[in-house]
C-alpha cells in the first residue's frame, strides 16, 4: 500500500463539520454539502472540481483510507448511521437526494472491494 496518499485532505475537510454530519445522518437527511469527503468515490465518477479533489485513485487508496486511524472509523460510523435508517425503510435517495444517493452507492461499492472481509 502506498504511503504517499494525501488522506489529510479528508481530515481537514471533515474536522470542522463532522459533528454536523453526524447530526444530519442521525436525523436521516443531508442538509449541507459534505458528500465528497465523507463518502468518497473513485476519481472520475463525478464531474466537479470537488469530486476530482476528493476522489480516490483506486482500491489501494480506499484501503489506506479505511486503515487511517481517523478516517476509517468515521466512514464506518457514518455508514452505520445510514444503515440504521435503512432498517426503518428510509433509503439513500430519501436521505441524500439525487445524485448523492448514487455517490453513496459508489462509495459503499468501492470500500466493499477495498476490504471485502469487513462487514
21 within 8 A of 34, measured Cβ to Cβ: yes
Could you give the CA distance from residue 13 to residue 101 in angstroms, rounded to a whole number? 20
pLDDT at 117 (0 to 100)? 66
Between 116 and 7, residue with greater pLDDT:
7
Domains of the chain: 8-114 (1.25.40.380)
Model-wide pTM > 0.75: yes
Q: 7-28, pLDDT tens digit by residue?
A: 999 999 999 999 999 999 999 9
Query: What percent of the residues of the chain are helix, what percent strand, and what percent coil, each to the nearest 5?
Result: 60, 0, 35
Q: 75-92, pLDDT tens digit by residue?
A: 999 999 999 887 777 778
Closest CA to 41 of 114, 107, 116, 101: 107
Amino acid at each position: 500500500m502506498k504511503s504517499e496518499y494525501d488522506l489529510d485532505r479528508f481530515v481537514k475537510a471533515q474536522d470542522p463539520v463532522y459533528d454536523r454530519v453526524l447530526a444530519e445522518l442521525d436525523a436521516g437527511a443531508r442538509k449541507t454539502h459534505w458528500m465528497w469527503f465523507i463518502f468518497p468515490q473513485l476519481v472520475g465518477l463525478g464531474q466537479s472540481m470537488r469530486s476530482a479533489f476528493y476522489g480516490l485513485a483506486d482500491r489501494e487508496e480506499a484501503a489506506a483510507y479505511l486503515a487511517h486511524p481517523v478516517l476509517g472509523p468515521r466512514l464506518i460510523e457514518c455508514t452505520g448511521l445510514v444503515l440504521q435508517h435503512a432498517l426503518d425503510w428510509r433509503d439513500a435517495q430519501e436521505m441524500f437526494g439525487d445524485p448523492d444517493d448514487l455517490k453513496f452507492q459508489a462509495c459503499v461499492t468501492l470500500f466493499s472491494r477495498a476490504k471485502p472481509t469487513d462487514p
